[in-house]
Amino acid sequence: MGRYVLRRLLQMVPVFVGTTFLIYVLVWAVPGDPFEGKCGERDCPASYITMMRERFNLDDPLLLQYWKYLVNLLQGDFGVTSSGVQVVDRIAATFPVTLRLALVALLVEAVIGITAGVVSGLRDRGFLDSLVLVSTLFLISIPVFVTGYAVQLVFGLQLGWIAPTVTTPTFGNLIVPGFVLASLSMAYVARLSRASIAENRRADYVRTALAKGLPTRRIVGVHLLRNSLIPVITFLGTDLGAFLGGAIVTEGIFNVPGVGGLVFRSILTKDGAMVTGVVTVLVLVYLLMTLLVDLLYAVLDPRIRYD
């Protein structure tokens, strides 16, 4: 196990270098000077442009620029934005919000998705089964921005049950945005659990458990569920990685001050240092989440060995 983790961590190095290089090139090597148009209606003064070009090493060859960026990065220095704000500070301010939103969404997705999937998987072709199939299809077909605006309009503006925008990002205030963010994955989780339960409930080991005279609750809750949830939990893990990448649409609709919005605004304002910084963090988070999911898989299914 230890060797496996070490190997996986080492594999992350080239992936990390590759992705950050790619994003660096995409952000800084696009045609056009990044500092033109930063001064409102007027042209920027030459002195400003020279200063900024120097600060961001833009006169060096691209590879050298990237090298300098990487060296700084490894020392924990994410650089400053064109307006002189520390990139690290902005990430530190927004990431906890995104983390909170992601956890709410994961909880919603897991609890509702798995419950719906298990209930419908246990009885094929009943009313509940059809209900789950149709409603998940409905959710999958609707883009998140429609769900988001509809929820905001109905519950926030017409019924007034919730504040239409998030003023302070507490867990409580993030429940509705969490629902919206989770809606699509929740439908997938429900369908995945349903298929998995339906497949496993006729398995031989379920019949054995029945023959052992175990109560139905235990057969379903222990024997069936434990086997059926292996693919679901790995799906949830990868999904959490995606949620942590920020939700540009959901955050935008509900005005949640998270990473998604930060990236979105930075791209619009061509704030290269911020974009590269945030994406670098997200790459790391996603790599670690994937490793975690793979390790979790071995914990859930003893047949998987990594030695």
Partner 1 sequence: MLLEVEDLHVEFRTRDGVARVLNGVGYHVSAGETVAVLGESGSGKSVTAQAIMGILDTPPAFVTRGSVRFRGEELLTASPERRRAIRAEGVAMIFQDALSALNPVFTVGFQIEEQLRLRRGMSRADARARAIELLDLVRIPAARQRVREYPHQFSGGMRQRAMIAMALALDPEVLIADEPTTALDVTVQAQIMDLLAEVQRERRMGLVLITHDLGVVAEVADRIVVMYAGRIVEQADAVSLFRAPGHPYTAALMRSLPRLDAKGAALETIRGLPPSLLRIPSGCPFHPRCPRAEDVCAARVPPDVPLGPGRSSACHFAEEVVGG
The site for partner 1 (CB under 8 A) is made up of 202-205, 207-215, 218, 222-223, 226-227, 230, 300-303
* Distance separating alpha carbons of residues 177 and 148, to the nearest angstrom: 8
Comparison of 27 and 197: residue with beta carbon closer to partner 1: 197
C-beta of 198: minimal distance to partner 1 in Å?
A: 13
Alpha helices in 123-174 (DSSP H): 127-141, 144-151
Our CB check for partner 1 shows the closer of 130 and 165 to be 130
Tokens representing 106?
A: 């994961």
Centre a 10 Å sphere on the Cβ of residue 162 and count the other Cβ atoms it contains.
19
Exposed / middle / buried, residue 42 (Cβ in 10 Å: 0-12, 13-18, 19+):
exposed
The residue (of 192 and 209) whose beta carbon lies closer to partner 1 is 209
**At its nearest, how many Å lie between partner 1 and the CB of residue 237?**
17
User: Within 10 Å of residue 299's Cβ, how many Cβ atoms?
Assistant: 9
The least CB distance from residue 227 to partner 1, in Å, is: 6
Q: How far is the CB of 214 from partner 1 (least distance, A)?
A: 7
Q: Which residue has the tokens 């209900």?
A: 131
> Do residues 243 and 107 make contact, with C-beta atoms less than 8 angstroms apart?
no
Give me 161's structure tokens.
Answer: 């049950």
Alpha carbon distances (Å) from 197 to 207, 212, 226: 14, 20, 10
Return the structure tokens found at 307.
């030695």
Minimum distance of partner 1 from residue 300's CB (angstroms): 7
What is the distance between the alpha carbons of residues 105 and 96, in angstroms, rounded to a whole number?
14
Task: Report the alpha-carbon distance of residue 191 to residue 185 in Å, rounded.
Answer: 10
Question: What does the alpha-carbon distance between residue 272 and residue 107 come to, in Å, rounded to a whole number?
Answer: 34
Residue 289: CB minimum distance to partner 1, A = 23
Nearer to partner 1, 78 or 235 (CB): 235
Give the nearest distance from C-beta 212 to partner 1 in angstroms: 5
For residue 126, the minimal CB distance to partner 1 (Å) is: 13
Quick one: 74 or 211, whose CB is closer to partner 1?
A: 211
Whichever of 41 and 204 has its CB closer to partner 1, that residue is: 204
Rounded to an integer, what distance in angstroms lies between the CA atom of residue 282 and that of residue 258? 13
Nearer to partner 1, 17 or 210 (CB): 210
d(CA 147, CA 144): 5
Nearest residue (CB) to partner 1, 171 versus 205? 205
CB 111 within 8 A of CB 236: no
Q: Is the Cα dihedral 227, 229, 232, 236 positive or negative?
A: negative
